[in-house]
Amino acid sequence: MRKVQLYIAASIDGYIARPDGGIDWLSMVDKKGEDYGYQEFFASVDTTLMGHKTYREVLGFDVPFPYMTTANYVFSRQKRQPDDNPVHHINDDPAAFVRSLKQQKGGNIWLIGGGQLNTVLLNAGLVDEMILSVIPIVLGEGIPLFAGQPKETKWGLKEHRAFDTGLVQMWYHKG
What CATH number corresponds to the domain at position 13? 3.40.430.10
Q: Beta 143-144 vs 15-17: how paired, if at all?
A: antiparallel
Domain count, the chain: 1
Residue 168 binned pLDDT confidence (cut-offs 50, 70, 90): very high
Say if residue 97's pLDDT is above 90. Answer: yes
The residues, ordered by sequence, that sit 6+ positions from 136 with a Cβ below 8 Å of its Cβ are: 12, 28, 29, 165, 166, 167
Q: What is the pLDDT of residues 101-139, one digit of tens each?
A: 999 999 999 999 999 999 999 999 999 999 999 999 999
Say if residue 63's pLDDT is above 90. Answer: no
Strand, helix or coil at 38?
helix
* Residue-level length of the chain: 175
Rounded to an integer, what distance in angstroms lies between the CA atom of residue 102 and that of residue 16?
Answer: 25
State the pLDDT at residue 79. 87
Contact between 73 and 87 (Cβ < 8 Å):
yes
State the pLDDT at residue 80. 86
Rounded to an integer, what distance in angstroms lies between the CA atom of residue 47 and that of residue 155?
Answer: 23
State the pLDDT at residue 62. 82
- Rounded to an integer, the average pLDDT of 53-80 is 91
Name the average pLDDT for the chain: 95
Element (H, E) at 46: strand 45-51
Helices (H) and strands (E) in the chain, counts: 4, 10
Q: What is the pLDDT of residues 19-60, one digit of tens each?
A: 999 999 999 999 999 999 999 999 999 999 999 999 999 988
Rounded to an integer, what distance in angstroms lies between the CA atom of residue 147 and that of residue 15?
Answer: 10
Rounded to an integer, what distance in angstroms lies between the CA atom of residue 156 and that of residue 175?
Answer: 5
Residue 100 binned pLDDT confidence (cut-offs 50, 70, 90): very high
Contact between 149 and 119 (Cβ < 8 Å):
yes
Say if residue 69's pLDDT is above 80. Answer: yes
Residue-range definition of the domain harbouring residue 45? 4-174
State the pLDDT at residue 136. 98
pTM over 0.85: yes
Contact between 5 and 132 (Cβ < 8 Å):
no
State the pLDDT at residue 170. 98
